Amino acid sequence: MASLTASAIVCAVRAHGEHGAILRALTLEAGLVAGYVRGGRSRRLRPVLIPGNLIALELRARTEEQLGGATVELMESRAPLLAEPLAASAIDWVTSLTAATLPENQPYPALYSALGAVLEAIGAAPSARMWAAALARYELLLLAELGFGLNLEDCVVTGVSADLAFVSPKSGGAVSAGAAAGYEERLFRLPPFLNGQDAAPAMSAVLDGLVITGHFIERDVLDGRNRDLLTVRERLIDRLGRAVA
């Protein structure tokens, strides 16, 4: 996109040159976009270019192929949340995942709205009781938007929609309790909140959901790449687990 003015969620920032930075941010209408911010490493702009922040972005490029020049203004800062290790880990993971997996300049309005909702939930309740389930749902949505959606509506074995209790790690399909008999240890437990049946899941159920989404993100989206990114998620899951214990 040669010209763009939009609200955007900062997803990744990389130093470029002595003073500049390359910004990757998610917008509603254009999806993930990249631009060069002159002076992006300056004292004035460093607090603006923090992953998770909501910014007013203006992006200009001479051609569609050229990396555009970006100007930014802060609309909402999530910097205070970075003082809380659990909230900081969640923001680091969800923004890094978005920046690493979405193709540029393709709109994903559902993901933009969902990412904003996750960040707002983290800001409202940094203890994770209210935002961890939203994070798992975001990962589930991202898988679907990238073409790796899970079938959690009916049993992959019988086709029935009742008594769904497990997920196959191979097919990504739900499995009913009856069809899973004798094979439970080879399957993931399916927490009801992942298919909309539990509005306030316990943290143990959320962790079960994150096991499922994490498996398919690593297998299908990251495909063994971005080991550093997976380490960010492992750190987050470890902190969530210790928060529950």
> Exposed, middle or buried by CB within 10 Å (0-12, 13-18, 19+), for 9?
buried
At residue 2, the pLDDT reads 67
Give the predicted TM-score (pTM) of the model: 0.93
The whole-number pLDDT of residue 228 equals: 84
- Strand ranges for the chain from DSSP E: 3-16, 20-27, 31-37, 54-60, 68-76, 151-155, 164-167, 173-176, 188-189
Number of domains in the chain: 2
One digit per residue, pLDDT tens: the chain, 245 residues? 468 999 999 999 999 888 899 999 999 999 999 999 999 989 899 999 999 999 999 999 776 667 889 999 999 999 999 999 999 999 999 999 999 999 999 999 999 999 999 999 999 876 787 799 999 999 999 999 999 999 999 999 999 999 999 999 999 999 999 999 999 999 999 999 998 887 788 899 999 999 999 999 999 999 766 778 999 999 999 999 887 76
Cα–Cα distance between 164 and 195 in angstroms, integer? 10
Asked whether residue 45 falls in the same domain as residue 114, the answer is no
| Statement to judge: residues 35 and 104 lie in one domain | no
Task: Write the CA distances from 234 to 198, 210, 218, integer angstroms.
Answer: 25, 11, 11
For residue 224, what pLDDT is reported? 65
Domain closes at, from 55, 77, 99 = 77
Residues 45, 124, single domain; the answer is no
Task: Check residue 126 and give its pLDDT.
Answer: 62
- Given 30, 49, 77, the domain boundary residue is 77
User: Based on the domain organization, do 131 and 100 belong to the same domain?
Assistant: yes
The single residue listed with the structure tokens 């999530």 is 78
30 lies in the same domain as 10: yes
pLDDT of residue 83: 92
Residue 245 has what pLDDT?
A: 62
Residues 219 and 236 in one domain: yes
Same domain, 35 and 66: yes
Domain that holds residue 119: 80-244
Nearest Cα neighbor of 99 from 236, 228, 241 is: 228
Answer yes or no: do 88 and 194 share one domain: yes
Domain edge (last residue) among 47, 62, 77? 77
Assigned token pair, 165: 């209790």
